[in-house]
């Protein structure tokens, strides 16, 4: 299995521009998570989906952030308009529902975003 795939790996943009981050979860996983990681705030959960349906978006910082999951194999996180304080590493993770070690989340390599 290729694992969780994220694109792009690096993104540099100017303030005010729209940014779209993409994620392909592990095939068969029914949960998908979007996280943001910064030195100051650590790893923060932004939103998560179960069977393509958004379950909890309470971590989304502002209306400038939106996320979609049109099908089981693809999700996007969009920031519009972007601001310098959005600079961070954005991780996508997926997991399979169930108990025990199935609680494990598998993380992608992350997208390193820099907003100038």
Q: What residues line the site for other proteins (CB under 8 A)?
A: 4, 42-43, 45, 48, 55-56, 91, 93, 97, 100-101, 103-110, 112
Nearer to other proteins, 14 or 44 (CB): 44
Q: How far is the CB of 81 from other proteins (least distance, A)?
A: 27
Nearer to other proteins, 81 or 107 (CB): 107
Nearer to other proteins, 6 or 81 (CB): 6
Q: How far is the CB of 104 from other proteins (least distance, A)?
A: 5
- Residue 80 CB contacts under 8 Å (≥ 6 apart), including other chains: 18, 19, 64, 66
Nearer to other proteins, 19 or 23 (CB): 23
Of residues 45, 59, 40, the one with CA closest to residue 90: 45
DSSP E strand stretches across 25-95: 31-38, 42-50, 53-56, 65-71, 74-79, 88-95
Q: How far is the CB of 94 from other proteins (least distance, A)?
A: 11
State the pairing for strand pair 53-56/5-7.
unpaired
């Amino acid at each position: 299995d290729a694992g969780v795939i994220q694109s792009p790996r690096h993104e540099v943009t100017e303030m005010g521009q729209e940014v779209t981050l993409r994620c392909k979860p592990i095939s068969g996983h029914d949960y998908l998570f979007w996280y943001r990681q910064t030195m100051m705030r650590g790893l923060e959960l932004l939103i998560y989906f179960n069977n393509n349906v958004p379950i909890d978006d309470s971590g989304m910082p502002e209306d400038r952030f939106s996320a979609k999951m049109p099908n089981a194999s693809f999700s996007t996180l969009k920031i519009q308009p972007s601001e310098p304080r959005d600079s961070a590493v954005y991780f996508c993770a997926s997991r399979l529902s169930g108990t025990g070690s199935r609680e494990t989340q598998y993380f992608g390599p992350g997208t390193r975003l820099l907003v100038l």
